[in-house]
Amino acid sequence: MLIGLVGGVLSGAFGIGGGIIMVPMLIAIAGLDQRAAAATSLVAIIPAALVGSIAYLANGEIDLAAAGLIAVGAVAGTLVGTRLLRRISLTWLRWLFIALIVAVAARMLLVAPERGESVELTVWVALGYIALGLVMGVASGLFGIGGGVIAVPALVAVFGASDLVAKGTSLLVMLPTAVVGTASNARARVVDVRAGLAVGIAATVGSVPGVALALVMPPRLSGILFAVLLLIAAVQLTVSALRSRGPAS
């Protein structure tokens, strides 16, 4: 429940689903391996993303057209990611996850979003949204993170979206990806749905105050805090990976 509460606040504040923090915490505190933590986190993201996206929508901070196009690619990508989750060794999975966190943290430190910016929908932008969805979906299924750490920086840095719109849109897209990914993991029996729901209930409670925090935080401060959180998670996972002597499977 504590893991879910922390993940929920971060989900609402940064539009990331919370998995980027919940996965390391599930490994360090709950004693799960990378595969089980990723699958459990994906379950928890569903209710947290639902409540968070409703809060952003109520404040007019979601691009529904962008969300729909990204979701098209994301659902397909999630199926690929969940299949890879069952085939990639834990050692490779762990280091890929760390590399992803560091790359996203660096991007958030370098890019300062501008609030209130809108994105004109063209054919190329639409294709870009679908491509972003594919990448987001693979990351969601593979790492159990919802894909927000991919979507939010990309929407801000590549498409020029406002940071609040990027966060709200990201949370909305997470819903279908998390549902599809969880269904795939459940069929493969690699997820404890009850544990995921326990984390998810607490995450839902924390998501609304998280959104309130996002609305009052300056965009530059939001990016810096997001990057710091990611780097802390990367350090914790690196220490855990170096100490691990278990089999890489």
Burial 69-89 (b: 16+ CB within 10 A, else e): bbbbbbbbbbbebbebbeebe
Q: Report pLDDT for 249.
A: 43
pLDDT of residue 114: 61
What residue segments make up the domains of the chain, in order of their start?
A: 2-243
Specify the residue for token string 């729901």: 197
Distance CA 162, CA 156 (A): 6
Lookup: tokens for 180: 């599809």
Residue 248 is predicted with a pLDDT of: 44
Tens-of-pLDDT digits for all 249 residues of the chain? 888 888 888 778 877 766 677 877 888 888 887 778 878 888 888 888 888 889 889 888 888 998 999 988 888 887 787 777 667 666 776 787 778 778 877 877 776 656 555 677 788 889 999 988 888 777 767 666 666 777 887 888 788 888 788 888 988 988 887 888 788 777 877 777 788 888 889 888 888 888 888 888 887 887 788 788 778 777 866 876 676 655 444
